[in-house]
Structure 1
Amino acid sequence: MKKLMVLMLTLVIAMMVTGCSKDKPSTIESKLPAKEMADQMVKDVEQPPLIELQADQVKEFYNLDPEKLEEYSIRIPMMNVSTNEIAILKVKDAKDVPTVESAVKERAENVKKQFEHYLPDQYENAKNYKLVTKGNYVLLVISDKADELVKVYDSFFDQK
C-alpha cells in the first residue's frame, strides 16, 4: 500500500514538472488587428476624443521601442484634461512581453503623476488603470469605464 502511494505521488509530481516545463510559444490570437480592436472599443464604450500615437511618439510617451511590437494601436486624449487612454500592443517576441508590461506600467504611473494635483476625478481614473496580458498582447486602459472596455477587448479572443 505504501509503495502504491509513493508511486502515485511520484507520478503526480512528474506530471506537474513536465507540464510546467514546456516553453511553447503563445497561441493566443485576436480575431482583429490592434487598430480595429481599438476602433471597436471606442465605438462600443463612449470615450472622450482620443488621437492615435504615431511610431515616433511611442518612444516618447511609452519609452518603448516600436520595433519590439508586431502591431499596436495607442489612443491618448486629444486634450490634456482627460486621462483616458487605450493601448493595445502585440509584442513580436514573447521574451519581450515583460519589458512591454514594464513600459506600460511606467506610462500609467506617469499619467497618474500628471493628474495627482490637477483633476481629482481624472487622478482616480489613472489610479485605477487596467493592465491585461493575453499571450503576446498587452492592453492598457485608463478610463472611468475601464471594466467595460476590458470586456469588449476580451471578446476579441477565442475562449479556450
Structure 2
Amino acid sequence: MKINKKLLAVIMTLVIGSAALTGCGQKTEQPSVTPTESPAVDEVTPTETPVVDENAGGVTGEEVTGETDPTPAQETYFVAVDGIEMPAGMAMDSTMFADTYGIDTSLLNSYYVQMPMMNVHATEVAVFELKDAKDADKVMAGIEKRQKALVDQWKSYLPEQLELVENYKTAQKDNMILFVISPEADQIVQKFESAQ
C-alpha cells in the first residue's frame, strides 16, 4: 500500500490543528473574586504650608493650600535653609509631632518641622516660636526626647546618619528655637542667628 505524501501532510495538519483548537476551546470555570474593604491608610504627602490647629492653639505641619500665610516659624525655617541643599522632605504632621517631640503646642505660637521623606537620611530641621521665652526649657526637653529617639533609631542602621544625629545643633534667638540635624548644621544655625 502506497501512501500519498500530500494526503499524509493534510491528515497530520488536521490532527494537530484539531488538537490545538480543542485545548483552546474549552473554558474552565474561574472562581469569582469578591473585593473586600481594605483598611483605611493615612496618606503621607509632602507639604510646605502649615495649618492652624485650633484645638491646640499652635500651628501644625499639615497641608493647607492657599488658606494661610507662612507662619513665623515656617518663614524662619526657609531663611535658615535658603541656598542649602536639603534631602527631599516633608512637614511633620501634628499627630507625629505630638508623638515624637511631646511638646505642648499651647506653649507655641507656631512650629515647623521638616523631616526626610525617606529613611536613609536623618536630616531634620525644626523651628519653634514660643509664646513666652520662659518656656524654652520645656521645648528643649521635647527636642532632647526627639534626639534620643533618633539615636536609638539610627544606632544600628546607618553609622554616618547616627553621627549626624549625635552632632545635632540647637539655637535660640528671642522667642524662636532651632533644632538641626544636618551635615550643614553649623551653616543653618548661622543663618538662623543672623536672620531678622
RMSD over equivalenced CA pairs, Å: 1.5
Q: Which amino acid aligns with 2:175?
A: N
The separation in 2 between residues aligned to 1:69 and 1:55, in whole angstroms, is: 13
8 A Cα contact 2:173 2:193, kept in partner: no
Please report how far the alpha carbon of residue 153 of structure 1 lies from its aligned counterpart in structure 2 after TM superposition: 1.0
| C-alpha deviation, 1:93, in angstroms | 2.0
Q: What residue in structure 1 maps to residue 87 of structure 2?
A: 48
Letter in 1 for 2:163: E
Give structure 1 stretches of 5+ with no counterpart: 1-31
Identify which of 89, 98, 101 aligns with 1:62. 101
Q: Does 1:98 find its partner at 2:137?
A: yes
Give structure 2 stretches of 5+ with no counterpart.
1-70
CA distance in 2, matches of 1:38, 1:46: 13
Compare the two structures and name the one with the higher helix fraction: 1
Structure 2 Cα separation of the partners of residues 61 and 79 of structure 1: 17
Alignment of 1:112-151 (within 5 A): 112-151=151-190
TM-score, normalised via structure 2 length = 0.60
Q: 1:133 to 1:43 in 2, by over 3 A?
A: closer
Alpha-carbon contact 2:170-2:189 (below 8 Å) kept: no
Runs (4+) of structure 1 exceeding 4 A deviation are none
What is the aligned length?
Answer: 126
Query: Any idea what SS the aligned residue of 1:75 has?
Result: strand
Contact 1:129 1:142 in 2 (8 A): yes
Paired residue secondary structure (1:44): coil
Identity, in percent, stands at 34
| RCO higher in structure (CA 8 A, sep ≥6) | 1
